[in-house]
Amino acid sequence: MFSASGFAKTWQYIQLFKEGLICTLSLSALTVIFGFILALVLALMRMSKFKPLSWFATCYVELFRATPMLVQLFIVYYVVFAKASLPSFKLFGFIRFERFFPGVVALSMNSGAYLSEIIRAGIQSIDHGQTEASRSLGLSSKQTLFEIVLPQAIKNILPAIANEFVTIIKESSICYTIGVQEIMYAVASIKGATYRIAEPLLIATAVYFCLTFPTSKIIAYFERRMSRGYKR
């Protein structure tokens, strides 16, 4: 149960939550960036007329969407990077890079699978007539994609990409299982030091809420503003 003394003990380790917050935001931001790049590649591969590329991208997406995130994280950390000699420096003075980097890789690979479907749907939502018009004006397929289609598609899917950032903030908590110093790692550390779990969990819940709820509302606000342009 919760108690005043429990909160007092937990508060002594508030610095761990501050570090966890920085780590969680860094982990989430990098995951969305690298996940988006991977997703764009996968989306283009899935729409490719070259069957092996399309087949590979489809298998990748289905595999990562059909398996647990925890399993993917463990495979990346304990198998893929098992014998890799990653630099052992600390980001911001406390984030261990050799654990942080595999976490970013695992989350990015998972996020890329989901984002690729969003990007593919966004590209396919653009009227094909625009592609035909641009080609008739002499633009190449590459120019048509990157100068005509993608800018419009990204505008359409921007709210979904922003929502993925919120999702990653919550999913990043799983990285504490490999020693990444995010918010849940702070909870585990405080539990080991104080033998209290209820109070650290409540504080962690409040931190996650303060991160995700305002972000969701901001995204919803901009989504409404962007949708006004389509209303007549």
How much is the pLDDT for 224? 75
Tokens of 167: 């999702």
pLDDT confidence band for 164 (50 / 70 / 90):
confident
Compute how many other C-beta atoms are within 10 angstroms of the C-beta atom of residue 190: 25
∠ CA 47-48-54, nearest 5°, is 80
Q: What six digits make up the tokens of 16?
A: 């761990």
Buried b / exposed e along 151-180 (16+ C-beta atoms within 10 A): eebeebbebbbbbbbbebbebbbbbbebbb
pLDDT of residue 162: 81
Q: What is the pLDDT of residue 80?
A: 92
Report the C-alpha gap between 203 and 20 in whole angstroms: 12
Q: Does 127 score more than 80 pLDDT?
A: no
Helix intervals (H) in 75-96: none
Query: Residue 5: what pLDDT?
Result: 86
Q: Locate 115 and state its tokens.
A: 């984002």
d(CA 29, CA 27): 6
The Cα–Cα gap between 124 and 47 comes to 9
* Range name among 10-24, 105-119, 141-155, 205-219 with the lowest pLDDT average: 141-155
CB atoms within 10 A of CB 2: 10
Quick one: average pLDDT of 148-172? 83
| CATH class of residue range 4-230 | mainly alpha
Residue 171 clears pLDDT 50, i.e. is over it: yes
pLDDT tens-digit series, residues 84-98: 888 888 888 888 999
Beta strand extents in the chain (DSSP E only): 90-91, 95-96
pLDDT score of 136:
77
In the three-class reduction of DSSP (H, G, I as helix; E, B as strand; rest coil), residue 146 is classed as helix
Q: What pLDDT, on the 0 to 100 scale, is given for residue 232?
A: 45
pTM of the prediction?
0.86
* SS3 call for 89: coil
What's the whole-number average pLDDT of the chain? 87
Question: Who has greater pLDDT, 221 or 44?
Answer: 44
Mean pLDDT computed over 172-185: 91
pLDDT, tens digit, 9 for 90 and up, residues 198-230 = 999 999 999 999 989 888 888 788 777 766 655
